[in-house]
Structure 1
Amino acid sequence: MSTSAPLPAADADSVFRDPAFRRFWLARFSTTIAYQIFTVAVGWQMYDLTRDAFMLGMVGLVQFLPSVVLLLMSGHVADRFDRRRIVRACQALEALVACAMAVASLSGWVAREHIFVFVALIGALRAFETPTLQATLPSVVSPRQLPRAVALSSSAAQSAIIIGPAVGGFAYVAGPGVVYAISAVLFCMAAVLVSGLTLRQAAPRITTPVSLQTLFAGIAYIRSRPVLLGAISLDLFAVLLGGATALLPIYARDILHTGPWGLGLLRSSPAIGALAMALWLARHPLQRRVGRIMFGAVALFGAATMVFGLSHWLPLSMAALVVLGASDMISVVVRSTLVQLDTPDEMRGRVGAVNSVFIGASNQLGEFESGVTAALLGPVGAVLLGGLGTLLVVVLWVRLFPTLAGRDALHERPAVA
């Protein structure tokens, strides 16, 4: 893969005018909004049933574990078979899971054990869908368009994260069964969009027999690239410690004294900041000192987390979450672009699977950590401790990964298999 010069600002529009990329964008938007609506319903329903912060943390853990178990298999499958078929099948099965949750909720027999089973199934399906969908993007656009396409693709996810929780929160007034039914319809829409997706070039597939070497190739590749290892692990530990999303139902109900609509607004707030930053980066991509900018953004993420933890006023809490989302998006775009540009196409499925597990660990496992810490220290103490931990991670990672801290451009040198 060769390096490329920065694109002119007008190319951000040309990327979105591409019919194939628009279809990809809409597919990612649909599947993400479906998942966000599903998540809001699960969190509120679980807390309604148990009133237990630990159970909210367990939801994150149960969803995360399948991605670890399926790590090697999912990446290998993405590099061996048609990625569009894999994504489509996962989305169709996710629609079935959402339908099952709707039936269980409308029938009135759902319990926390049923929620755990359905969440585990969703986690297993997303372990295949997420890295495969990400690995498909470089085949939809040209290499020159990829940095902007990554930012625009992130804007699809963030737009869905803004709309999804709000829709889920307001729809929950009609009951969780209605929310799950909406989620199922959106998963089906995503599967239809992926079915008609055309590729600029076919992704190369591995044809060698399955072996330990091919299964662990993604892990070995990341370990051999300090920039990739540092960027991925920085996000892992920062969000693992600083993420407070699992505690939003507690903050909404017990600290900010609001209802499901307030929870929807809180969940949407990080995505508002993230969407604004993603659109800005699509028009004005980072060109210099990307390593230092990434570390600064993660430090701001930790500081915003602490402000949120201390707030008892809904507008201030939302403002802190907006800043948190914007700073996190800078890290996401830098990390995602580095992973795509520094990885050969025939390796992207396996590298993407490892990256997805790290992201899942920082989110789902972070939710478990927040739930456990909140059970011991209370929600405010848990969030403050997490924000402080994020700042400490930034200081430590600057020392451990000086190559990442000194990275100047996103595409400095070509990747080799």
Structure 2
Amino acid sequence: MSSLVEDEPSLIRQTGFVLFWSARVLSTSCFQIVAVVIGWQMYALTSSTFNLGLVGLCQFLPMLLLTILAGHVADRFDRRVIVRTCQFVEGLTALGLALASWYGVISPHVIFAAAALIGACRTFEAPTTAALLPMVVSPAILPKALALSASAIQTATIIGPALGGVLYIAGAGHAYLFVAVFYLIAGTLISLLQIVVPPAKREPATLRSLFSGFGFIKSRPIILGAISLDMVAVLLGGATALLPVYARDILHTNSLGLGALRASPAIGALLMSLVLTRWPMKSRVGHKMFGAVMVFGAGTVIFGLSTWFPLSMAALIIMGSADVVSVVVRSTLVQLGTPDAMRGRVSAVNSMFIGTSNQLGEFESGMTASLFGTVPAVVLGGVGTILVALAWSQLFKPLRDADRFPERSA
């Protein structure tokens, strides 16, 4: 078997992968920057945890409404055109926010509308990007390409929030303009991609094919259990929407501190990704997933109670490390168990679960914080995550007892 070092040059020499990786880093970084700037700006305008939660809801609702269509579109049309169009629209949205900020017409309603539009674009962009990668690299190096593509996301998730905090010092308008320019560059890079693996034969468009992604996942209890466990755990345990509150009111820091807090889970995720690359999971994958979810819940409790910035960052790093174990198990089950012809639709459903745990989780955090207070909301979410892991271990025993990953589906 080739080593990682031996595989690396073959990928670097493939212009298509370099373009794809670069575009993904830029796009994901831009999304993370926007998340920091919108959150800080909304809280500066309203001082409302409820409005912070509504931003997450505005991003989630388009995903809920458009996911089925997004997966179908990804399997039937040129994926490069879809991704490029989404990135250009996201860039124009960021430009609109920049102009609104400069001319003093920014308001919660403008931010809500922009969040909804970005959420709609991400609904199409995320599953299409996932389905595009196997078309721009040869099958022999696809596993390595998938690993490095995942590292692109983690890298961007670390750089983006920190950069967002720095850019906000110059003003929200300048931060949004930066995002607009780099979304344009990302879309241009996608336009330059060459397809090396032709797409699979497209089946006729029917109502059954439209919903087939859901049916496929439902028919496989292990995949369903893994996706739903990851979704519910992050839904309850995610405190991302409340980070502006912790940064300003509890930890008494500024936008740079907020960027560091948002980057902390990604730091933990990247470190754990490196560990799993060196020592991949080969046995007891089900038990490791459930254990990681419970560690994630415990980290959430620690973060919720902390009033010391270094401890808060450490808790978030632990949460990110635990979360990536769950993500690796889930994504590996999906990748190895999904036929190529259905990759777009299954990726779309998977993206909806991810979006539910992230965007709807932000709404849940904002709502519970407005009802019970910020600290109790986060602590209760962490405890709830642990309880859900215990419950799922009984509801999905095949997942809990899974020892190894399945062979790749044809």
Which band: TM-score by shorter chain?
A: over 0.9
Q: Which amino acid aligns with 1:102?
A: A
Aligned to 1:330: 325
Aligned to 1:280: 275
1:131 partnered with 2:127: yes
Structure 1 runs (4+) greater than 6 angstroms displaced:
none
Aligned partners of 2:116 and 2:108: how far apart in 1? Answer: 12
Aligned partners of 1:409 and 1:145: how far apart in 2? Answer: 22
Superposed, 1:66-77 pairs within 5 Å as 66-77=62-73
Aligned length: 409
Aligned to 1:413: 407
Aligned to 1:374: 369
Given that 1:287 and 1:409 are in contact with CA atoms closer than 8 Å, whether structure 2 keeps it comes out as: yes
Aligned to 2:219: 224
1:403 partnered with 2:409: no
Aligned to 1:318: 313
Given that 2:91 and 2:183 are in contact with CA atoms closer than 8 Å, whether structure 1 keeps it comes out as: yes
Q: Over residues 126-172 of structure 1, what are the superposed CA-to-partner deviations in whole Å (9 max), with x where a residue is unaligned?
A: 10000100112233345564444333222111111111111111111
1:90 partnered with 2:86: yes
Seen in structure 2, the aligned counterparts of structure 1 residues 50 and 22 have a Cα distance that, compared at 3 Å, is same
Aligned partners of 1:147 and 1:303: how far apart in 2? Answer: 32
Aligned to 1:187: 183
Q: CA deviation at 1:317?
A: 0.3
Aligned partners of 1:295 and 1:18: how far apart in 2? Answer: 39
Secondary structure class of the residue paired with 2:200: coil
Given that 2:36 and 2:164 are in contact with CA atoms closer than 8 Å, whether structure 1 keeps it comes out as: yes
Superposed, 1:225-240 pairs within 5 Å as 225-240=220-235
Aligned partners of 1:403 and 1:415: how far apart in 2? Answer: 19
Q: Which amino acid aligns with 2:404?
A: A
Q: Over residues 92-122 of structure 1, what are the superposed CA-to-partner deviations in whole Å (9 max), with x where a residue is unaligned?
A: 1111111111111111111111111111100
Q: Which amino acid aligns with 1:263?
A: L
Aligned to 1:105: 101
Aligned partners of 1:296 and 1:217: how far apart in 2? Answer: 31
1:43 partnered with 2:39: yes
Q: CA deviation at 1:200?
A: 3.6
1:13 partnered with 2:13: no
Aligned to 2:19: 23
Q: CA deviation at 1:9?
A: 4.2
Aligned partners of 2:329 and 2:148: how far apart in 1? Answer: 13
Secondary structure class of the residue paired with 1:312: coil
Aligned partners of 1:136 and 1:155: how far apart in 2? Answer: 17
Aligned partners of 1:103 and 1:232: how far apart in 2? Answer: 39
Q: Over residues 288-334 of structure 1, what are the superposed CA-to-partner deviations in whole Å (9 max), with x where a residue is unaligned?
A: 22222211111111111111011100000001111111111111122
Aligned to 2:165: 169
- Alignment partner of 1:351 out of 346, 355, 365: 346
1:157 partnered with 2:153: yes
- Say what the alpha-carbon RMSD is for the aligned residues: 1.7
Superposed, 1:46-65 pairs within 5 Å as 46-65=42-61
Aligned to 1:259: 254
Seen in structure 2, the aligned counterparts of structure 1 residues 394 and 76 have a Cα distance that, compared at 3 Å, is same
Q: CA deviation at 1:284?
A: 3.2
Q: Which amino acid aligns with 1:46?
A: M
Given that 1:12 and 1:283 are in contact with CA atoms closer than 8 Å, whether structure 2 keeps it comes out as: no
Q: Which amino acid aligns with 1:355?
A: N
Given that 1:57 and 1:370 are in contact with CA atoms closer than 8 Å, whether structure 2 keeps it comes out as: yes
Given that 2:243 and 2:261 are in contact with CA atoms closer than 8 Å, whether structure 1 keeps it comes out as: yes
Given that 1:12 and 1:282 are in contact with CA atoms closer than 8 Å, whether structure 2 keeps it comes out as: no
Query: Which of 151-160 and 321-330 deviates more?
Result: 151-160
Given that 1:152 and 1:278 are in contact with CA atoms closer than 8 Å, whether structure 2 keeps it comes out as: no
Secondary structure class of the residue paired with 1:70: helix
Aligned to 2:193: 197
Seen in structure 2, the aligned counterparts of structure 1 residues 200 and 351 have a Cα distance that, compared at 3 Å, is same
Q: CA deviation at 1:188?
A: 1.2
Give the TM-score normalised by the residue count of structure 1.
Answer: 0.94
Q: CA deviation at 1:17?
A: 2.8
Secondary structure class of the residue paired with 1:152: helix
Aligned partners of 1:370 and 1:393: how far apart in 2? Answer: 17
Given that 1:252 and 1:262 are in contact with CA atoms closer than 8 Å, whether structure 2 keeps it comes out as: yes
Aligned to 1:3: none
Seen in structure 2, the aligned counterparts of structure 1 residues 12 and 271 have a Cα distance that, compared at 3 Å, is farther
Given that 1:304 and 1:320 are in contact with CA atoms closer than 8 Å, whether structure 2 keeps it comes out as: yes
Secondary structure class of the residue paired with 1:202: coil
Q: Which amino acid aligns with 2:300?
A: T
Aligned partners of 1:253 and 1:312: how far apart in 2? Answer: 11
Aligned partners of 2:178 and 2:201: how far apart in 1? Answer: 36
Given that 2:75 and 2:344 are in contact with CA atoms closer than 8 Å, whether structure 1 keeps it comes out as: yes
Q: Over residues 21-52 of structure 1, what are the superposed CA-to-partner deviations in whole Å (9 max), with x where a residue is unaligned?
A: 23222111110001111111110111011100
Q: CA deviation at 1:14?
A: 5.0
- Alignment partner of 1:362 out of 357, 363, 374: 357
